[in-house]
Structure 1
Amino acid sequence: MALLQASQLDTGKTSSTLKSAAKTREMQKIERAAQDFEAVFIAEMMKPMFAGIETEAPFGGGKGEEIFRSMMIQEYGKMIAQTGGIGIADHVKDHMIQVQSQMQNEQNPEGATSDE
């Protein structure tokens, strides 16, 4: 009997650990998506800043520079977002969490549990 109870306690702990790990993974996905969104937003905001920069003949210009410049701007956006950004990721993350919890509440109305 004691062995059965211990087994059930271990199962309960394992279940809560798995749920906690799933929530942690979900939060990491949300944070990553919010940071990626901020990186794209920052890159789009930076494009006009680089549009007016002229390059001179021997070492600049051409299609290669256009491609490199767009890639460089994307990387600038990623770096800025990774180092704290401008605060958009925090708001996007909060909104995503809010929407996700609303969806879960709609799927599991009060009184119903997802453990059944």
Structure 2
Amino acid sequence: MVAPLALMGLSAAADLVGGVVDAIGKAASPAAAGKDKLKKTAQEFESVFLEQTLDRLTASGGQEGPLGEAGTGGSVYRSMLSKEYAGQIVKSGGLGIADGVYRQMLRLQEGASHAG
């Protein structure tokens, strides 16, 4: 069974991918504004990726402790903690995923503007 929060995470990831596609399509407009939007989208992508990864890493069969499943809303708090950790990792430089995604989006944008 897939937890409701996992479905929300997948939905957020799908929305983010849609944003990446939109950013690529619209970024052929003013260069500076387009690049800023691409950079922000790439960072959001890295944050969502890290959040999903941390959710998997912190999921446990444990029933004890403040984030245990036996506690009130333990899975909700664990999800919130993963989101916060992911945001802080990206703010501190991240893993480099955002940079790679950003460079690839720029290449796609340049290819689209040369083709049109």
Q: TM-score, normalised by structure 2?
A: 0.65
* CA RMSD, Structure 1 to Structure 2 (Å): 2.2
1:32 to 34, 40, 46: 40
Number of residue pairs the alignment of both structures matches: 86
| Cα-to-partner distance string for 1:41-63 (whole Å, 9 max, x where unaligned) | 11111122211273537886435
In our comparison, the structure showing a higher alpha carbon Rg is 1
Question: Quick check: 2:46–2:98 contact (8 Å CA) kept in 1?
Answer: yes
1:50 pairs with one of 49, 58, 63 = 58
Matched, 1:103 2:112: yes
Identity of aligned residues (%): 33
Q: Unmatched 5+ residue regions in structure 1?
A: 1-21, 108-116
Give the direction of change, closer, same or farther, for the CA distance of 1:62–1:78 in structure 2 (3 Å limit): same
Which secondary structure state, in structure 1, belongs to the residue aligned with residue 110 of structure 2? helix
Moved over 4 A (4+): 57-60
- Give a deviation string over 1:33-91, Cα, whole Å, max 9, x none: 00011111111111222112735378864352211211210121111112110111110
CA distance in 1, matches of 2:90, 2:109: 23
Judging changes above 3 Å, is the alpha-carbon distance between structure 1 residues 34 and 102 closer, same or farther for their aligned structure 2 residues? same
